[in-house]
């Protein structure tokens, strides 16, 4: 069955430090992969997506993610975190031609000033 | 461009009562989704509409949940009767059409069942 795991429930980083959020997926075919961010009291916002091609994907707000098929991973990175990046981050995989998306459990990011 | 609108933003009810949520998608978006997000979990798809037809409702607890999108625009999700485990945030999302995977989410309705 298709699934998404995010090993880190909560991560704390200092402002200005680099960030990597881990995501692993289970899916038989070539996956469509996504990262969403959810700020407190807000809906989800798409940060970036991978469909095919270059395995390093650039997104909004300075985020990037790298697809590694051999590791079934799609980790999110940012070279320098800002206090406004504190939020919940969800990795997701698209599983059919009807745009069905399965979300991971999320990683909560705290940023220390 | 206006985003996805949802109301109410918060609702507190007692178990066995009924409740309804409303969603107005982005203008022109054919696909509409309702998700349930329980605290500490990722969103789970409840039902997906393409215009006014249902694409996927496999995870909708049909004995108590119902949803409609009669004119292919706005949508309502109803729970009757509510259970304690229905406490969650209910998110509505829309996308221009199938095949885009570009879902735009509303702010959600936080339901507390006591």
Express each pLDDT in A32-67 by its tens digit.
999 999 998 788 999 999 998 899 999 999 999 999
pLDDT band at residue B3, thresholds of 50, 70 and 90?
Answer: very high
Q: Is the pLDDT of residue A88 over 80?
A: yes
Task: Report the distance separating Cα B72 and Cα B75, nearest Å.
Answer: 8
**Angstrom distance (rounded) from CA A67 to CA B81:** 44
Query: What residues of chain B lie within 8 A of the CB of A103, using their CB?
Result: 42-44
Q: Determine, for residues B101 and A106 on separate chains, whether the beta-carbon distance falls below 8 Å.
A: no
pLDDT over 80 at B54, yes or no: yes
Encode pLDDT of B22-44 as tens digits.
Answer: 999 999 999 999 999 999 899 99
How many residues comprise chain A? 113
Average pLDDT of the segment spanning B10-15 = 98
Please name the residue that has the structure tokens 């997104």.
Answer: A59
Compute the residue count for chain B. Answer: 114
Burial A29-57 (b: 16+ CB within 10 A, else e): eebbbbbbbbeeeebbebbbbbeeeeeeb
Kindly report, residue by residue over B74-86, the tens digit of the pLDDT: 999 999 999 999 9
Q: Which two tokens stand for residue A31?
A: 């996956």
Facing A43 at nearest CB: one of B55, B102, B107? B107
**Most A CBs within 10 Å: which of B25, B99, B101, as the mutation test of the A interface?**
B101
Contact B55 A41 (CB under 8 A): no
In Å, how far is B41's CA from the nearest CA of chain A? Answer: 5
Q: What is the residue whose two structure tokens read 């680099």?
A: A18
Mean pLDDT for A11-26 is: 97
Q: What is the mean pLDDT of residues B12-20?
A: 98
Separation of alpha carbons A47 and B21, rounded Å: 27
For an interface test with B, the pick among A8, A44, A93 (most B C-beta atoms closer than 10 Å) comes out as A44
């Amino acid at each position: 069955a298709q699934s998404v795991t995010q090993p880190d429930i909560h991560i704390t980083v200092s402002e200005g430090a680099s960030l990597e959020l881990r995501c692993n997926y289970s899916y038989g075919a070539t996956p469509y992969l996504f990262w969403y961010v959810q700020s407190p009291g807000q809906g989800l916002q798409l940060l970036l997506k991978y469909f095919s091609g270059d395995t390093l994907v650039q997104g909004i707000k300075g985020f990037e993610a790298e697809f590694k098929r051999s590791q079934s991973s799609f980790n999110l990175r940012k070279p320098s975190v800002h206090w406004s990046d504190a939020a919940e981050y969800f990795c997701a995989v698209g599983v059919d031609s009807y745009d069905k998306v399965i979300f991971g459990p999320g990683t909560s990011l705290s940023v220390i000033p | 461009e206006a985003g996805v609108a949802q109301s109410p933003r918060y609702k507190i009810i007692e178990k066995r009562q009924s409740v309804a949520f409303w969603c107005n998608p982005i203008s022109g978006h054919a696909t509409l989704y309702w998700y349930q997000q329980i605290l500490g979990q990722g969103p789970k798809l409840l039902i997906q509409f393409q215009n006014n037809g249902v694409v996927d409702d496999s995870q909708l607890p049909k004995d108590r949940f119902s949803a409609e999108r009669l004119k292919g625009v706005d949508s309502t999700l109803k729970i009757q009767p509510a259970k304690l485990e229905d406490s969650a945030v209910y998110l509505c999302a829309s996308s221009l059409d199938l095949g885009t995977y570009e879902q735009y989410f509303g702010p959600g309705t936080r339901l507390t069942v006591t």
